Structure 1
Amino acid sequence: MILDTSAGELLPLAFALAATGAISGLLAGIFGVGGGAVIVPIVDLVLAALGYDDSVRMHLAIGTSLGVIVPTSFRAFMAHRRRAAINMEVLRSWLVPVPLGVGLASFVAAVSTGVQLRATFACLAFLLSLKLIFNLKAGRVSERMPGWPVRALAGIVVGFLSALMGIGGAVLSMTYMTMFGRPIHEAVGTAAAIGVLVAIPGALGYMVAGWGEPGLPPFSLGYVNLLAVAVMIPLSIAVAPYGVRIAHMMSRRQLEVAFGLFLLTVAVRLGVTLFA
C-alpha cells in the first residue's frame, strides 16, 4: 500500500477521479449499465494522462472498478430482492462457481501484463459492441435451465470473464438465463445478485494480486485505489439521474447503438495503444 500524500500528486489524482466518477455516472445513467464497462477505460486513460506506468494502469482500472461496483451491486440486489425478482435456485447454484471464476481471474491478472489485460478487455468490448450495434440476440436453447455440471461451468465462466473486465457480469448472466427460457425481469434481478458475487471477491482478489507492487497511486490497497472508490461512488450516484433524463429522450434501440458505439470506440482506442 502506498500512502504518498504529497499535494503535487494527490490533488491532480483526486480531481481526475472526481471527473471520472461524474462521467461514468452520467454514462451509466444513459446506458443503464453498472458502470464497469465505463469506469475501466476511463480510469486507464486518466492514469495514463497522470503518468502512471503501463504495468499497473489496467490492473488498477479493473480492480478499482470492482471496488466501485461493490456497493452499487449490493444496492441493486436488495432492491430486486424486495420485488422477489431473483431466481434463488440459480443464485444458490452459483454461490461457489462464480467466486471460483473470479478467483481464477484474479490469479490470471496477477501474472498478466497490462498489455495482456488491455487486449482482453478490448476484444470482449469489441464483441459486445457488435452484439449491441447489430442487435444480435442469443437464440433460446431450451425452456429449462441446465443442471450440474453445465450450470456450474457457466457460473465459472461468468465470474472469470467479469472479473477480467472489471464488470458486474450482468450482460453475461442475463444472456445465459434468457437463452434457457427465463423471463427478462427475473434475469435482470438475478444478474444484480450475481454482481455481488463478482464484485466482492473480485475487489479482494485484486487487492491481494497487487499487494506491494511499486508505482501505485496514493491510497492504493493492491490494485484497488481507495481514493477512487471514495470519490467516484457518491459522484456517480449523484450524476446518474441526469443520464437517466437523457436516456428517456432516446429509444431502447438508440441506446443500444449508442452504447455499442461507445464500446467500439473504447475497443479501437485500446487496440491502437497495443501497437503504439
Structure 2
Amino acid sequence: HVDGEMLRAWAPWIALGSAAGGVLARWVSVELLTIIFAGGAIYIGYRRIFPKNRTTAQDINLTRKRLKIPLGAGTGLFSSLMGLGGGAVGVMVMTLAGRPMHQAIATSAGFGIAVAVPGVIGFMISGWGAPGLPPASFGFVNAAAFAAMATMAAITAPMGARLAHRLNGALLSKMFGLYVFIAAAGLVWDVFHP
C-alpha cells in the first residue's frame, strides 16, 4: 500500500523541514507549539471521527513540485517541533487529498526516518550547552529516553501494522481521530495545568 513515488518526492523536503524544526526549537515557546498542535490535532481528530460525505473522491497529485515542497517541508517542520514522527500530519494530508486510509498510514510510516534523523541532529545542535538538561543529554536529545522510545517503537510498530491491515478504513480513521484527540488533550494538560 505504500506510495513509493510520494515517499521519494517528499522525503528530502520532510528532512529539510525537520532539521529546521530541530534548530528552531530553542526559540519557539512551548505554549505556542501546544496551541498550534492542539488546534491542528482537534481539526485532524474531528475530520477523522466525523468525515465529510464526499460524492466524488478528490485525488490530488501530491508529488507535483508546487505541492511537495511546501507540504513536505511543512510536515517535517511541524512534526519535528511537535515531537511527532510525521505520521499524524502525513495521514491528514494524504486523506484530504483523496488517498485511502490504509495507503496514507503505510506511506506516512515511511516519513518517520525523514523526520527522525535530521530532527535529532537539529535538536542536538540547538540544545547543545543548554542549562538544566538531565544526565546523558546531547543537546535536547536524552540518550536514555531515546533508547527507551526506539525500543518500544521497534516492538509495537509491527503489531500496529498488523492491526491496521485487519481493520476497515472507516474504523481505522475513527480510531486515529480518537488517538489524536487524546494526544492533544494530554499535551494541553501537561503544559497548562499548574
Tell me the TM-score range normalised by the shorter chain: 0.7 to 0.9
Query: 1:41-62, CA deviations, whole angstroms, 9 ceiling, x for partnerless residues?
Result: xxxxxxxxxxxxxxxxxxxxxx
Distance 1:179 1:156 in 2: 17
Equivalent residues of 2:123, 2:139 under 8 A apart:
yes
Amino acid across the alignment from 2:24: V
Query: What aligned pairs does 1:37-186 form with structure 2 within 5 A after superposition?
Result: 85-135=1-51, 140-142=57-59, 144-145=61-62, 147-180=64-97, 182=99, 184-186=101-103
Distance 2:38 2:134 in 1: 24
Structure 1 runs of 4+ off > 6 angstroms?
A: 239-252
Q: Which runs of 5+ in 2 are unaligned?
A: none
Identity, in percent, stands at: 33
Q: Which residue in 2 is equivalent to 1:226?
A: 143
Q: Which residue in 1 is equivalent to 2:125?
A: 208
Distance 1:116 1:251 in 2: 36
Equivalent residues of 1:144, 1:181 under 8 A apart:
no
Larger CA deviation: 117-126 vs 155-164:
117-126
1:235 is displaced (CA, Å) by 4.4
SS in 1 for 2:146: helix
Query: 1:14-54, CA deviations, whole angstroms, 9 ceiling, x for partnerless residues?
Result: xxxxxxxxxxxxxxxxxxxxxxxxxxxxxxxxxxxxxxxxx
Give yes or no for the alignment of 1:199 onto 2:77. no
Equivalent residues of 2:91, 2:104 under 8 A apart:
yes
Distance 2:147 2:65 in 1: 40
Equivalent residues of 2:59, 2:98 under 8 A apart:
yes
Give the TM-score normalised by structure 1: 0.55
1:255 is displaced (CA, Å) by 6.0
SS in 1 for 2:65: coil
